[in-house]
């Protein structure tokens, strides 16, 4: 099973610590919702966990080996990353966009092998974009692009998915569909870490909650036990009422304090 361990990570920018001594042990099968106020350092932490940014202090271990020791391509095969608001810079077709997710498996030259092309088709079907496969990616709606990017991330069958605000800007229907998929991945044994702002959805579908405040991990554990009004009050300065945390019918109501 995949094990991703953060050991006392510290990242400073301009003298201030953005990530301040975060340690955590994440394993496959977890869907970790990364919560916290704006500017808490969630994005930076995700980049460090993905190996896209080197922490100033501390290290990240994947299966007990430091991320630094992995070569870029083998790491890319095991871990997929989705940044905030991913876009396609050229109007290539949806099919080609999804196929880009197979880059770590491809040699330096040459087209897509037939077996891999089949995988792309399968992925398009799973995210329900098969009828849009030849459409230029730049003409997709927000929800469709989000699904296409998710397909891109998953087409290579990675062990881990780290996503920075994957649900932001999606309408309720697409947001629910998205987070259900993420939970499904975790149930299938993958490690999923995603930063979300919707507390209700996090309460319903995440297996674990990680709360980041001012760069520090102030809480990490299973949703049912970790998500509490005290925690939300401390992190967001809101009075919250939580019912059914960790179940598919959880609700989080809150008012500003």
Partner 1 sequence: MSRLLWPAAILLLVAVMLLSLAVGRVWLPPSAMIDGLLAPQPNLASLILIELRLPRTLLALIVGLTLGLSGAVLQGLLRNPLASPDLLGVSSGAALGAVIAIYFGLASVFPLATPILGIIGALIAGLVTFTIGRGGTLTLILAGVAVTGLASAGLSLALNFAPNAFAAFEITNWLLGSLAERSWSQLLLATPFMLAGMACLIVNMRALDALTLGETQAASLGIDLDRARLLALLGTALAVGAATSITGGISFIGLLAPHLVRPFVGHQPSRVLLPAALFGAILLLVADIATRLIPTDQEVKLGVLTSLVGAPFFFWLVLRLRRTSP
Binding residues vs partner 1 (CB under 8 A): 47, 50, 52, 72-77, 79-83, 86-93, 96-97, 100-101, 103-104, 106, 108-109, 136, 152
- Pick the closer one to partner 1 by CB: 29 or 136: 136
The phi, psi pair for 164, rounded to 5°, reads -100, 105
Report in angstroms how near the CB of residue 70 gets to partner 1 at its nearest: 10
* Separation between Cα atoms, residue 188 and residue 226, nearest integer Å: 23
Q: Tell me 67's DSSP state.
A: G
Report in angstroms how near the CB of residue 18 gets to partner 1 at its nearest: 17
Q: Which two three-digit tokens encode residue 85?
A: 């608001």
Residues near 156 by Cβ (< 8 Å), separated by ≥ 6? 76, 77, 80, 101, 102, 104, 105
- Pick the closer one to partner 1 by CB: 59 or 96: 96
Report in angstroms how near the CB of residue 92 gets to partner 1 at its nearest: 5
| Count of CB atoms situated within 10 Å of the CB of 64 | 7
- Pick the closer one to partner 1 by CB: 23 or 74: 74
The phi, psi pair for 244, rounded to 5°, reads 65, 35
Report in angstroms how near the CB of residue 91 gets to partner 1 at its nearest: 5
- Pick the closer one to partner 1 by CB: 164 or 198: 164
**CA distances, 41 to each of 12, 17, 195, 249 (Å):** 11, 9, 11, 29
- Pick the closer one to partner 1 by CB: 149 or 252: 149
Report in angstroms how near the CB of residue 149 gets to partner 1 at its nearest: 8
Q: Which of 247, 196, 186, 154 shows the shortest CA–CA distance to 27? A: 186
Q: Which of 100, 128, 136, 137 shows the shortest CA–CA distance to 116? A: 100
- Pick the closer one to partner 1 by CB: 27 or 93: 93
Report in angstroms how near the CB of residue 77 gets to partner 1 at its nearest: 8
Report which secondary-structure segment, H or E, holds 219. strand 216-222
């Amino acid at each position: 099973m995949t094990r991703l361990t953060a050991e006392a990570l510290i990242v400073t920018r301009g003298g201030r610590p953005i990530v301040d001594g975060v340690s955590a042990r994440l394993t496959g099968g977890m869907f970790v919702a990364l919560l916290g106020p704006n500017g808490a350092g969630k994005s930076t932490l995700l980049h460090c966990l993905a190996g896209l940014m080197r922490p100033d202090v501390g290290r990240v271990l994947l299966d007990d080996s430091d991320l630094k020791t992995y070569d870029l391509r083998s790491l890319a095969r095991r871990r997929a990353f989705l940044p905030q608001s991913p876009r396609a810079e050229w109007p290539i077709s949806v099919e080609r966009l999804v196929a880009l997710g197979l880059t770590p498996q491809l040699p330096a030259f040459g087209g897509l092998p037939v077996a891999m092309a089949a995988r792309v088709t399968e992925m398009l079907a799973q995210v329900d974009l098969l009828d849009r496969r030849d459409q230029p990616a730049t003409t997709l709606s927000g929800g469709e692009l989000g699904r296409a990017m998710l397909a891109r991330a998953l087409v290579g069958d990675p062990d881990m998915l780290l996503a920075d605000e994957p649900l932001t800007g999606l309408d309720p229907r697409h947001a629910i569909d998205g987070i259900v998929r993420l939970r499904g991945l975790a149930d299938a044994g993958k490690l999923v870490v995603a930063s979300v702002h919707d507390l209700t959805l996090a309460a319903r579908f995440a297996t674990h909650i990680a709360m980041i405040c001012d760069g520090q991990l102030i809480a990490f554990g299973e949703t049912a036990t970790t998500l509490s009004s005290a925690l939300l009050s401390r992190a967001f300065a809101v009075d919250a009422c939580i019912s059914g945390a960790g179940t598919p019918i959880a609700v989080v109501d809150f008012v500003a304090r």
